[in-house]
Amino acid sequence: MMTTTTTPFALTLARRVAGLRLFGADASSVAGLAYRQHGEPKDVLSLEHLERKPLVEERSVRVEVMASSVNPADLNTIEGKYPLKPPLAEDGIAVGGSEGVGKVVEAGSGVGSLNVGDIVVPVKANCGLWATEVTGREEDFQIAIGRDQAQALQKEAITRLGSLSVCYSTAFQLLAPAQPGDVVIQNGASGAVGQAVIQIAKERQVRTINVVRDPHKEDYLRELGGDIVTSDLAKLKTICAELPAPKLALNCVGGESSAAIAKRLASKGHLVTYGGMAREPVVLPTPLLIFKGITSSGFWLSGQFYPESDHRQRQEMIDYLVGLVLAGKLGVRTKTLDFRGEALEAFRREHQGKVVFTM
């Protein structure tokens, strides 16, 4: 069962009131998590009162953020280690956040694909979604739920949609080569993308072998639908014998773990790397390359798929994922934090689950 950890209502209300006292209800300002220099997020981020930007282009939109997420790429961006850099305002301020969901509250006269009231998700990195409001070009966003259905959207669904544009989308694209009946093996399976892989694979009748470091997380992943879940690399060969050899391996760890899942691939299998949480090189033993014809590649959603895909491809993916979310079939373990009152807590200590800001 997917779980969401929340803060008691009374405490949340008190923090929200404190936030309103700080940021007020001034229509000319926006609350945002901003930074002026690279460094550790806990040291350089601050919740600030930012000037509300006017719509300066005919094809620009204003989006009221409803929920936004914290991903490893966001932290690397703030640290100055990520290839994509956010645009800086004239005063040198950058606002963090690349993933979230919001509602269009204003649209320029030239906007054709979005309407005021539409629920949208970003389709580019560094939109500055750690804020109560953002402005951007029409092509930076696509519809998740049309305005006619937006009123019926439940709070839990909004929280889940806050992880769609990076987490669920990455999982969806990673599984693109898999066909019904196939087997996929992955490491880092307890991460947000790993959880999404399990659920999307189950929906597509693809079986999964899931490797985790923490044995205490195994039962949770089985409840999500993981066919095989293990933290024992030494017994992986024996455990995997229960299923046909996988054709696809998904690596977000590197090092010994990447070699372990690559060894379980069928002949001509493929290893895809989309992260490097262990900060160790991907290990692909030479015999796998020569005698089994194993191939390897990388995947980067923000730097490859989004800029290289067209509107139709992105919309088909978004529609499919939204359908799973609304049906209660897709979501990840989260820790929700009230943005105005608790945003900085996201970076001061570790949390069980993916951090999602609710506005």
In total, the chain counts a number of residues equal to 359
Comparing 56 with 26, which gets the higher pLDDT?
Answer: 56
pLDDT value of position 89: 64
Average pLDDT, the chain: 92
Q: What is the pLDDT of residues 75-124, one digit of tens each?
A: 999 999 999 888 666 678 999 999 999 999 999 999 999 999 999 999 99
**pLDDT range class, residue 20, cuts 50, 70, 90:** very low
CA distance 350 to 252: 19
pLDDT value of position 29: 87
306 noted as active-site residue: no
pLDDT value of position 28: 77
Global pTM reads 0.91
> Closest Cα to residue 211, out of 241, 184, 244?
184
Comparing 1 with 14, which gets the higher pLDDT?
Answer: 1
Which amino acid is present at 283? V
Q: What is the pLDDT of residues 303-324, one digit of tens each?
A: 999 999 999 999 999 999 999 9
Q: What is the DSSP letter of 282?
A: B
**pLDDT range class, residue 3, cuts 50, 70, 90:** low
- Cα four-point dihedral sign 196, 198, 203, 206: positive
Q: What is the pLDDT of residues 118-161, one digit of tens each?
A: 999 999 999 999 999 999 999 999 999 999 999 889 999 999 99
CA distance 201 to 180: 9
Q: What is the pLDDT of residues 171-188, one digit of tens each?
A: 999 999 999 999 999 999
Of 82, 168, 220, 274, the active-site residue reads 82
Mean pLDDT of 283-295: 97
CA distance 221 to 237: 20
**Domain covering 4-163+332-358 in this structure, CATH number:** 3.90.180.10
CB neighbour burial string for 67-93, b if at least 16 within 10 angstroms, e if fewer: bbbbbbbbbebbeeebeeebeeeeeeb
Domain boundaries, the chain: 4-163+332-358, 166-302
In order of 8, 18, 213, the CA distances from 348 in angstroms are 19, 19, 23
pLDDT value of position 9: 35
CA distance 196 to 99: 15
Contact assessment for residue 100 and residue 160, using Cβ atoms and an 8 Å cutoff: no
Using a pLDDT cut of 90, give the percent of the chain over it: 86
> Which two structure tokens, joined as six digits, stand for 91?
């005063």
- Cα four-point dihedral sign 34, 86, 81, 169: positive
Contacts of 149 (CB under 8 A, 6+ apart): none
* Residue 244, phi-psi category: left (phi > 0), alpha (psi -120 to 50), beta (remainder): beta
User: Per the CATH hierarchy, to which homologous superfamily does domain 166-302 belong?
Assistant: NAD(P)-binding Rossmann-like Domain (3.40.50.720)
